[in-house]
Structure 1
Amino acid sequence: MDEFEQAYARALGAGGGEAEVDAAASVLAAGGDGWDAVAERTAGRVTRECAARGWGAADLVRMAGRELTVRHQRLAEELERGGALGEFARHERLDRFSAAGVLVELLCLYGRLPRITAPTPPRTAPAGEGSKVLGRIRALLAKAESTGFPEEAEALSAKAQQLMARHSIDEALLGADRPGGGPGTRRIGVDRPYEGPKALLLDAVASANRCETVWSADFGFSTVVGHEPDLDAVELLYTSLLVQADHALHRGPSRRRDFRESFLIAYAARIRDRLTAAAGAEVAARDDTDALLPALAARDLAVRDTTRRLFPATTTSRLKGRDAQGWQEGETAADGARL
């Protein structure tokens, strides 16, 4: 173990204490032209250890911004892209000691991260037209976001939602006839502030799309369990609905925390009702329900069993809205949200 590795180990053992971090930063900054290689070697080892404990690259970047600063997050992104510490220092206009300090603080955060359930990709059966359908859905959503005409945006978004539901149902029927498919997981960030109501909105979108969620409040993400087309739909819809909720909040009459929290809880509850009704209507409109209902039930059971296997010990959280005006405004915004 080289001198910087030893200094970093002391800083980590001291819980990222200022004196130990400064000492490790001094050792790295004094490394001459080889400091980039030393930093890369240590950072690579630490991130590999994180991966072995269930943390992906996107998780580490998110945790850097969540627990430290935007500058630490930029360094995390630089490391994830294979960039060098010296290049980061030049971009940030930092001296060597300051840049080294940012690195040591970041690696101390990584080193303290506990073991978590690793994400598992869905077991995808042989592909049919899925990639083409998802391409059409993304194109429709892109057009909806870029148009300046609200009626056109709503029509495009509605068409995208219709394609999502139809694609999921078609995949359920195909999956019943071909082996190899199965649910997997996807992590979706749930950012501050108002993480609880945002996790509730994600759960609303997930349950309407035959998925389940487990919220890891301490780490700022939810794990969504489901089949691949449903995971795609959940991520696309949640992102869109969250942006719409944020726009409505900024136009709202109050910035009080109770108002905004109640707004988002009511928004999530009403969105749950709308999406569940829309999904039910899509199933009811089919003329092949005799084959469809058992296929959907089998997928639901597979998702539930996978969730229980991966997360055997979970608790249920209950959120309460405390502001009547915020609740009413949230329901109104959800009624007008484009699905």
Structure 2
Amino acid sequence: MDVVERALAGALYADDDDALDMGASLLAAAPPDADAELVRRGEEFVRRAWERGWQPADVMRIVRRDLGERHGESAAALIVGEARRYGDDLPPRWRAQLDGLRDGGSERPPADRFSHAAAVLELYRLLVRLPVVEPVGPIPGTAPGTAVCPSSAPAVAEPRMLTRIRALLAKAEATGYPEEAEALTAKAQELMARHSIDAAMLAARAHRVDGPGACRIGVDAPYEAAKAILLDAVASANRCRAVWDGGFGFSTVVGFESDLESVELLYASLLVQATTAMTRAEASQRAGGRKRTKTFRQSFLLAYAHRIGDRLARAASQVAQDTTGGDLLPALGARDVAVADHAESLFPNTVRTRVRGAADAAGWRDGTAAADGARVCGTDHGGELPGH
């Protein structure tokens, strides 16, 4: 409709709020049948975001961070609506992300037409200005032959193994005993390493030419640098590469699908365990009469990530030594090279970013102790992160 076009043209491509208010006034005065056209245009903007490399979880993260929860509800409604055109023809990771949006409830009714129109235009302005990012998989409706990542569909060979890993990590998160958490998470990492080796062995025996893929994992504030180091440690221990984009609040993890699943599971669990342990350590500090601030929490998480990295790397290395024969080593080496090459093709201009060191000795000490209790780790990166 002409009124919708005029509102969008004036509001989306100008930087001042006056243009946005003028567009909202036009929409507020428009007849009710303009609403359907406005939604259609919003779904079109969502589709353009997919074509620029974004996925539903990425868009939701940016919208909630930059605009707020109410705008997030509107974005979720647009994303779910746009996805209906594909039916069941969705990449597996998209299906999981969309299921999460559908489970989150429905959009709240607007307070008044002007406020609703202004919020919609703010959302659309953000959507149309999303830049191109590195694609990490096919978009809905893409022909199979044009998929970006050759192994974008999750492996289905060992669902019971993944179920067992999830159960172990859930118990590790729930227990109040550090020794038990240590044993459970160590066992989970062992199963992940075996799962990776089994996948490589099956591919080698079947002479199957799989390729690595990629996924994005949110790295949210606060203390995002420490969290990105933790994710990098988990990725490295599971034969993957992680590249952090602090501006967009996510890391892209490159690896074979079975390893990507392990990274997602373990990182989420360790984040829960680290947060729980940090809260407990802070309570102990306060009980002793010592006030702790942001520097304590930052130091705690940096120490946790550092120590966890060491331990995970050792656990994965031990499994590899115990289970691999000489004939499998070339296959594992070839997969490592493929992951490195794919990461380089996606991110040819990465830089290493030095993170500000720990400034609180008690936080570092308590974080190290908590990591020893959790027994979950990756490689030591010397306080540096690959980013772009």
* Cα distance change, pair 171–248 in 1 and its aligned pair in 2 (3 A): same
**Is residue 2:137 matched to residue 1:108?**
no
Equivalent residue number for residue 151 of structure 2: 123
Equivalent residue number for residue 90 of structure 2: none
The 3-state SS of whatever aligns with 2:151 is coil
Equivalent residue number for residue 222 of structure 2: 193
Report how far residue 74 of structure 1 moved. 2.1
Report how far residue 89 of structure 1 moved. 4.5
Equivalent residue number for residue 343 of structure 2: 307
In 2, distance between residues paired with 1:150 and 1:195? 25
Contact 2:235–2:263 (Cα < 8 Å) also in 1: yes
Contact 1:265–1:327 (Cα < 8 Å) also in 2: yes
Amino acid at match of 1:49: R
Equivalent residue number for residue 116 of structure 2: 99
The 3-state SS of whatever aligns with 1:213 is strand
Q: TM-score by structure 1 length? A: 0.90
Report how far residue 122 of structure 1 moved. 4.7
The 3-state SS of whatever aligns with 1:316 is strand
Amino acid at match of 1:48: R
In 2, distance between residues paired with 1:335 and 1:155? 11
Q: Using the aligned pairs only, state the percent identity.
A: 52
Contact 2:178–2:373 (Cα < 8 Å) also in 1: no
Structure 1 range deviating more: 118-127 or 269-278: 118-127
In 2, distance between residues paired with 1:335 and 1:148? 14
Amino acid at match of 1:208: A
Contact 2:189–2:316 (Cα < 8 Å) also in 1: no
In 2, distance between residues paired with 1:51 and 1:76? 13
Amino acid at match of 2:107: F
The 3-state SS of whatever aligns with 1:38 is helix
Contact 2:169–2:185 (Cα < 8 Å) also in 1: yes
Aligned match of 1:232 in 248, 261, 265?
A: 261
In 2, distance between residues paired with 1:44 and 1:126? 27
Contact 2:231–2:267 (Cα < 8 Å) also in 1: yes
* Cα distance change, pair 126–207 in 1 and its aligned pair in 2 (3 A): closer
Equivalent residue number for residue 299 of structure 2: 262
* Cα distance change, pair 169–76 in 1 and its aligned pair in 2 (3 A): same
Q: Deviations over 1:306-334 (max 9, x none)?
A: 01111100100112222222211111111
Q: TM-score by structure 2 length? A: 0.79
Equivalent residue number for residue 65 of structure 1: 64
In 2, distance between residues paired with 1:19 and 1:199? 39
Amino acid at match of 1:273: D
Q: How does 1:178-217 map to 2 (within 5 A)?
A: 178-217=207-246
Q: Deviations over 1:110-169 (max 9, x none)?
A: 111111111134527996732332233234434555678777665544433322111111
In 1, distance between residues paired with 2:111 and 2:26? 16
Amino acid at match of 1:5: E
* Cα distance change, pair 139–330 in 1 and its aligned pair in 2 (3 A): closer
* Cα distance change, pair 51–336 in 1 and its aligned pair in 2 (3 A): same
* Cα distance change, pair 156–266 in 1 and its aligned pair in 2 (3 A): closer
| Structure 2 alignment gaps of length 5 or more | 83-105, 138-148, 286-290, 377-388
Amino acid at match of 2:300: F
In 2, distance between residues paired with 1:317 and 1:8? 39
RMSD of aligned residue pairs (Cα, Å): 2.4
| Structure 1 alignment gaps of length 5 or more | none
Report how far residue 295 of structure 1 moved. 1.7
Across the two proteins, how many residue pairs are aligned to each other? 332
Equivalent residue number for residue 34 of structure 1: 33
Amino acid at match of 1:327: W
